[in-house]
Amino acid sequence: MTTFLAAGLLFDLDGTLVDTAPDLACAANHMLATLGRPTEDEATVASWIGDGVPRLIKRALTGERFGEPDPALFEEAQALYGDYYEAHVADRSRLYPGVAQTLAALRADGFRIACVTNKAGRFTRPLLQALGIAAYFDVVLSGDELARVKPDPLPLVVACERLGVARDGAALVGDSGNDMRAAKAAEMVAVAVGYGYHHGVDLPALGAAAVTPIFADIRDFFRFDERFLLSKAMP
């Protein structure tokens, strides 16, 4: 197994740390039912995950991966979805096995840790708090804080700046093609988890240096190196 030297570790959220599909499906079906449309099973909604909530909503409304619904309908649907999901963000969502223990161990090893997600902040922070892992992160960067989201490298670059870690001393752990593309564009090491919402995409072909089916094994891929620290983490 290859071991990478690093001082900062950036983690995706949905499909990497947390199985959020059950609550995302409930929110989608509440939205569809309120609009008088047929609901979908959880597996179908899970297949829509990976490109942010707005795209998930558009997929629910159009039945197409990149369909565009009527703008007025989309705005109504987005409000219905957002209000419901915010109130039920952690009803059924659960950490993947070993997540809390591994994050605690990585912090003890000395790593600075960030959560970098395309999920909006109104959902991200309550979810992390509800599942008891918010305190493990030095930085939380949500999808509505910057002008661009993953697969653009900007969130990864900003996360490194806020962590006070050199970009060549940071790595991303994620489950999707967007994560791998973002890391590649940022010239950053990426390790993929084999579960989550990648929908069968060949993650090594997109730049994953390694793939693990077990989150706890993430610790084996990295060794802390303080030479990559640039400053104290930003507030």
CATH 3.40.50.2300 fits 21-87, yes or no: no
Catalytic residue, from 12, 19, 51, 179: name it.
12
**Residue 13's pLDDT band (boundaries 50, 70, 90)?**
very high
**Looking at the domain 4-19+93-228, which fold is it?**
Rossmann fold (3.40.50)
CB neighbours (10 Å) of residue 67? 12
Would you say the pTM of this structure is higher than 0.85? Answer: yes
What is the pLDDT at residue 1?
Answer: 73
Q: Which two tokens stand for residue 186?
A: 């940022």
Which letter does DSSP use for residue 50 in this model?
Answer: T
What is the pLDDT at residue 233?
Answer: 52
- With a cut of 60, say whether residue 235 has pLDDT above it: no
The pLDDT of 37-49, averaged and rounded, is 93
Q: Which residues of the chain form CATH 1.10.150.240?
A: 21-87
The alpha carbon torsion through 222, 223, 224, 225 (nearest 10 deg) reads -120
- With a cut of 80, say whether residue 21 has pLDDT above it: yes
Question: Annotated catalytic, 12?
Answer: yes
Q: Which residues of the chain form CATH 3.40.50.1000?
A: 4-19+93-228
- With a cut of 70, say whether residue 234 has pLDDT above it: no
Note the helical H segments in the chain: 21-34, 42-46, 53-62, 71-87, 99-109, 121-130, 154-163, 177-185, 218-221
**Residue 29's pLDDT band (boundaries 50, 70, 90)?**
very high
Q: To which H or E segment does residue 114 belong?
A: strand 112-116
pLDDT tens digits for range 145-180: 999 999 999 999 999 999 999 999 999 999 999 999
